[in-house]
Amino acid sequence: MGAEVEIIVMPPSMRASKEAAAELKRIKPDVVMLNLPENISDLVQDLASEDLEYEDFIEKIGERLPSPAEAWLKGYEHILLELRELERSPDVYCYGDLVSFEVEARRAVEVARLTLRTMITGRVDADEWLKLLSEERRIIEAGSIREAEKVASTLIRYERAACISEHAPTHLKARLAREGMMTRVRYVGQPYHFTPLEILRRKIVKGGVSREEVEALVKEHVKFIREYVYHKPLLEALDEWSVRKLYWLHGRGDKP
């Protein structure tokens, strides 16, 4: 019989990070798979095994990831600090595809450049946004397939596993099923409201997004940056964004 794998889907928010850490304690896995760049896997294992202090860990990943290195932990800080508290002291691996990661790093710079241009000019170059995000989608899709292969080949040696992902685990579930593994998916940090740029990316995946939709979502993205990200750390900004957008689910009587 194959491994039992719990896939934890974690959006980029502080609440989701804390709930994901709590799920790891509940699951008590033999192995934990993190969607972080695979070239820091040995450092994460050393951190989890208490062979490396967190400050030294941050310094060392700075030698392997683009600066600022902490930005690429993507809300994993709380989980990384909690790994050494897990009951079974599991093995820990990072499975993030390096090609996709390098693309993401370059695209982040391009997104920042286009966002700044829109802030300054007030105009949205819909064609350039579409080209950038469409190319990103194709490369990340291919990376997702490679990541699923890596996770499957690693987990065949274990009985009980936990795998954290930031996206719907379509390729991952299918690949693990082919190995005879039983998977359960748990979404944490819910309800979560996608940011304007996340909505635009999802529309591009589905196809048929109009120039008007691109322009409207990019302008909403600029508003999100100005009203939320400028004033507090990203994860806190995302939590506040979700609460305000989903005010009717949080017991708030007035629309923001």
pLDDT in tens, 212-228: 999 999 999 999 999 88
Residue with tokens 């490369």: 139
Q: Are 205 and 137 in contact (CB under 8 A)?
A: yes
Please state, rounded to an integer, the average pLDDT across all residues of the chain: 88
- Other beta carbons within 10 angstroms of residue 227's beta carbon come to 13
Strands, E assignment, the chain: 4-9, 31-37, 91-96, 160-165, 182-187
Whole-Å CA distances, 205 to 15, 131, 133, 199, 208: 27, 13, 9, 10, 9
pLDDT tens-place string over residues 185-198: 999 988 888 899 99
- Other beta carbons within 10 angstroms of residue 88's beta carbon come to 12
Q: Is the pLDDT of residue 251 over 60?
A: no
* Residue 247 confidence class, pLDDT cut points 50, 70, 90: low
* Residue 39 confidence class, pLDDT cut points 50, 70, 90: very high
CA–CA distance, 64 with 249 (Å, rounded to integer): 41
| Better pLDDT: 113 or 245 | 113
Q: Are 24 and 162 in contact (CB under 8 A)?
A: yes
Highest mean pLDDT among 135-139, 174-178, 244-248: 174-178
Residues paired with 84 in a beta bridge? none
Q: Residue 141: its pLDDT value, please?
A: 82
* Residue 254 confidence class, pLDDT cut points 50, 70, 90: very low
| Better pLDDT: 250 or 154 | 154
Q: Is the pLDDT of residue 252 over 60?
A: no
Q: What are phi and psi of 209, to 5 degrees?
A: -75, 135
Q: Is the pLDDT of residue 231 over 50?
A: yes
* Residue 237 confidence class, pLDDT cut points 50, 70, 90: confident
* Residue 248 confidence class, pLDDT cut points 50, 70, 90: low
Q: Which of 35, 37, 79 is nearest to 60 (CA)?
A: 37
Q: Residue 255: its pLDDT value, please?
A: 46
CA–CA distance, 5 with 19 (Å, rounded to integer): 17
**Angle, helix 126-155 to helix 170-178, in steps of 10 degrees:** 20
